[in-house]
Amino acid sequence: MGRAGGISVRRIRLWALLLLVVLPISGCWSRIELNDLGVVLALGLDVGEEEAVRLTVLIPAPSAPGQSGGGGGAGGGGSGAASPVWVAVREAPSVSDAMQMLQQAAPRRLVRHHMRVVLISEEYARTHGVGDILDALANDLQARMTVRPFIVEGRAEDLLENQPPLRPYQPMHLTGILQAAGGVEWRLKDILVGRVSETHSTWMHAVKLVTRPAGAPGGFLLGSVISGAALMRGDSLVRILHPPESQVFEWFFGIPKEMIMSAPCPKGEAGTFSGHVLQAKMVTQPLVEGGQVKFRVTVTVHMNMSRSECNVEVRRRSDRTRLEEAMAAELRGQFEKVIAAMQEAGVDPVGFGKRLQLAYPAYFRGIRDRWSEVWPTAPVEVETKVTIRQAGLMKAPAIRTDRELQEWR
């Protein structure tokens, strides 16, 4: 067979074959069978009673073979005989310790690949800060950057134990709400980008459980809703914006589909009118004059009118203009409120600083250390312009107006 430097080819072949055979026998390291998987769909962080951290995980429980998986179909909220999820809670000094304790109590290997939401309670965010959990998620191989963190006004554990009506599991419910609304997708990646940035700060969606009291007609109802936007400075929570400010706040990131806006009727009439937004464009412009920075926000909106209590006809130009002005005023008011709230809290999640940096890099380089002091006092002008295109399928309300009655038409 020939010797090559002391080792014959035959020997080499034998060794190679041996290695090949040993390979499958020695066992495969990173494999896990499907029925040994515990798929973690959501993580919840609260302040613990005894320990620092109270961690909750939500894992769907497989039904017995032969039945369909996920019991969200029949029955209202949470009244099925057997719950299709397993919500487990542990308290520990840190998130990782709590995770370890959970794994020790779980008969399946917990994997976080499919984790969709991370719920952090408000109390936890204000006291503990969200830094370590965000970093842990960024470090984690299994959890990807597309996870959505939320701030919970209340307790994360309660939210996770609630069974949603229209989707099989709570995390799907929450992400479903965001997807159905359209508009802004705000995920871990965006939050981390904000955290390391010097030009803007981070924010998260806020959720909460709403309850209808037991005595009310229809019975007791418990459900989760998106309750606003939580603004953060660094890693700690400073303020939570609620609707309608939070809705307008989100406009800076993307206009939700079919967003509905209401405004009081023009000329002091009683009642309100509403329209839904077809198209909206927002331009944020920084201006530096004499070493001072100011911003102008221009909002252009096209909408269709959907409902009106006001005595106007959309097809008459003068009426329409009045409606448009009323809506523009309302919108401007809301924007000003949001911006004031942000400046008061001293945070800039929307990116005024970034736009300043892009427009005037040299100037921003000068004030980059002081941006957090400059921003709260920078004047921001808001200009809004609303155009009402039409009112859906009707040209005029299906009632005889005063004018028509007068003119005997």
Partner 1 sequence: MQVRISGGLYASILFCLASVTQFMTLTSPLIEASGQEAWISALLGGGYGLALTLLVAWICSRFPGRDPLAAATPWLSVPIRLLYAVLQLLFYSLALRDITDFIEVVLLPGTPGILIGGVLCAVSLYAVMNGLEPMARVAFGATCWSVLVLSLLPVGLTREFNILQIDPFLWEGPIRVLRGAVVAMPGAGEALLVLSLLRHLSPKVNPYKWTLIGLGGGVLVVAYALVLITLVFGSVLPGRQIYPGFELLAVVSITEGIERLQAAVITVWIFAAVAKIAGVLYGAVEEGGLALGLRRRQLFAPAVAGLAASRLWKGVLQEVTYMGRTGWVLALITLEVAVVLLLAVAALAARVPRGRGQRG
Partner 2 sequence: MSLAEVVQYLRRWQVEEADRLADQVEQNAWPPSTEILLALTAATDAMPISPALNENRAIVRLLVGNSPDLVERGLQLGNGRLPGVLFFLNELANRDQVMTLLESLVVSMRRESLPDPSSGLVAPFLAQAIPSVKVEQASTMRDVLSAMFVGDCVLLVEGMPVGLRFRSDGTPVRPTEEPNGEPVVRGPKDGFTESAAANLALIRRRIRDERLRVEAFTLGTRSRTHVYMLYILDTSLPELVDEVRSRIQRIKIDVVLESGYIEEMIEDQTFTLFPQVKPTERPDVAVSGLLEGKVILITDGTPHALMAPATFAAEMQSPEDYYHRWPVSSFFRLLRYVYLLVAFLGPATYIAITTYHPELIPTTLLLGLVTAREGVPFPAIVEALVMELTLEALREAGLRLPKAVGQTISIVGALVIGEAAVRASLVSPVMVIVVSLTAISSFIIPLYTMSLAIRLLRFAMMILAAILGLFGMVIGVVALLIHLTSLRSFGVPYLSPILPPTANALKDAAIRVPWWAMRTRPLFMPMRNHRRMGGSNEPKTPRSRGEGEVN
Select 26 or 318, whichever has its Cβ closest to partner 2.
26
One residue of 113, 281, 389, 395 binding partner 1 per CB under 8 A = 113
Residue (of 352, 361, 85) closest to 201 by Cα position: 352
Check binding of 260 to partner 1 (CB under 8 A): no
Q: Provide the residue count of the chain.
A: 409
Sheet (strand 53-60) strand order: 85-92, 53-60, 42-47, 117-121, 148-152, 203-212, 221-233, 236-241
Binding mask 324-363 for partner 1 (x = CB under 8 A): ---------------------------x--xx-xx--x--
Contact 145, 191 (CB under 8 A): no
Instruction: Give 127 or 179: the residue with its C-beta nearer to partner 1.
Output: 179
Burial class of 240 by CB neighbour count within 10 A (0 to 12, 13 to 18, 19+):
buried
The reply on whether position 41 binds partner 2 by CB under 8 A is: yes
35 touches which of partner 2, partner 1, none (CB within 5 to 8 A by kind)?
partner 2
Residue among 81, 141, 398, 399 that touches partner 1 (CB under 8 A): 141
- Give the C-alpha separation, 372 to 378, whole Å: 11
Tokens (6 digits) for 366: 């000068």
Residue 106 is a binding residue for partner 2 (CB under 8 A)? no
CA distance linking residue 159 with residue 346, whole number of Å? 30
Distance from chain centroid for Cα 246: 11
Tell the smallest beta-carbon distance from residue 179 to partner 1 (Å): 9
Mask 146-185, x = binds partner 1 (CB under 8 A)? Answer: x--------------------------------------x
Question: Cα(25)–Cα(37) distance, rounded to whole angstroms?
Answer: 23
Q: Does 139 bind partner 2 (CB under 8 A)?
A: no
- Among 194-202, 216-224, 258-266, 305-313, the segment contacting partner 1 (CB under 8 A): 194-202
Using CB under 8 A as the binding rule, whether residue 196 contacts partner 1 is answered as: yes
Of residues 19 through 38, those in contact with partner 2 by CB under 8 A are 23-24, 28, 30-35, 37
Question: Residue type at 404?
Answer: E
Residue pair 285/296 in contact (Cβ under 8 Å)? The answer is: yes
With beta carbons less than 8 A apart as the criterion, state whether 129 and 135 touch.
no
Stretch that binds partner 1, among 21-29, 160-168, 225-233, 262-270 (CB under 8 A): 21-29
Q: Which residues contact 64 (CB under 8 A, 6 or more apart)?
A: none
d(CA 340, CA 9): 80
Q: Is 221 in the site for partner 2 (CB under 8 A)?
A: no
95-105 helix and 131-139 helix, angle to the nearest 10 degrees: 60
Stretch that binds partner 1, among 26-34, 56-64, 77-85, 214-222 (CB under 8 A): 26-34
Cβ atoms < 10 Å from Cβ of 17: 10
**Cβ-proximal residues to 110 (8 Å cutoff; 6+ apart), any chain:** 38, 40, 57, 59, 99, 102, 103
Q: Does 9 bind partner 1 (CB under 8 A)?
A: yes
Nearest distance, CB of residue 96 and partner 1, angstroms: 16
Applying CB under 8 A, which residues contact partner 1?
Answer: 2, 4-5, 9, 12, 16, 19, 23, 28-30, 113, 138, 141, 144-146, 185, 189-190, 192-194, 196-197, 199-200, 253, 351, 354-355, 357-358, 361
Binding site for partner 2 (CB under 8 A): 23-24, 28, 30-35, 37, 39, 41, 60, 62-65, 69-70, 111, 113-114, 116, 142, 144, 168, 172
